[in-house]
Homo-oligomer: A and B are copies of this chain.
Amino acid sequence: MLNVQEFIDACRECGLNVTYQRILIYKSLVKTKTHPTAEEIYHEVKAEYPSISLATVYKTLETLAEHDLISKVTPLHDLARYDGDTEQHHHLVCLKCRKIIDIHEEALNNLKVPKETGFKIEGYRIQFEGLCRQCALEDDPNWEETSAKSNEDTTFCGK
C-alpha cells in the first residue's frame, strides 16, 4: 500500500510509464477495503477523469497485478472448475499450465481463526500457488536439487 510518490517510484522501477490514469486507478483501489471490481473502479475514476475507458482500467489492473503492485483476489478467475471430491481438501494450482492438484493433508484441516471478526465461518479453502514439477523444471532444470538440499520433508511457505 504505497502513497502516490512511492507508487510513481515503483512504476519507474518496474519500467512502467507513469500515467495519470494509472495513478487515479491505483489511488481509487488503495483507498478502499472493499476489494472492488474493475467496473467499480472505472466508475469511481470516471467521476474525476471522464474520458477514461473501461478497457484501460482492465489493462491497468492486470498490468499492476503482474508487477505485484496490487493483487487479484480471484485468481483462478478464468473458468469455473468442478471437483467430484467433496471431502475437505485443498488445491495446488500451477500458475503456468493451470493444472490443479489435490492436497489431502490432515494438518491443514483444523486451522484456528480468530473469532473477533464477527464472521460465522463455515469452512475454508487453501489455494497453494506455484509451479508443478514439469513447469518448474522447464523454468529451471535443477530446482529439484536445490530444494532437496534443505533436508526437511515440509517447506515453510510465507510470501
- A-side interface residues toward B, CB under 8 Å? 1, 26, 29-39, 41, 61, 65, 68-77, 79-88, 91-92, 94-95, 99-103, 105, 107-133, 136, 143-144, 147, 152-159
Contacts and interface: CB of A to CB of B under 8 A. Distances in A.
A114 to B, nearest CB: 6
B71 A80 contact: no
Nearest to A132: B119
B158 A109 contact: yes
Contacts of A114: 103, 105, 153-154
A155 B82 contact: no
B108 A82 contact: no
Interface of A is mostly: mixed
Given A118-B132, A119-B133, A143-B120, A107 B101 contact: no
Sorted nearest first, the 9 A-B pairs with minimum C-beta distance are A30-B84, A88-B159, A118-B133, A120-B136, A121-B130, A73-B81, A112-B154, A122-B130, A35-B100
Given A92-B121, A120-B131, A129-B122, A72 B77 contact: no
B157 A110 contact: yes
Contacts of A74: 74, 76-77, 79-81
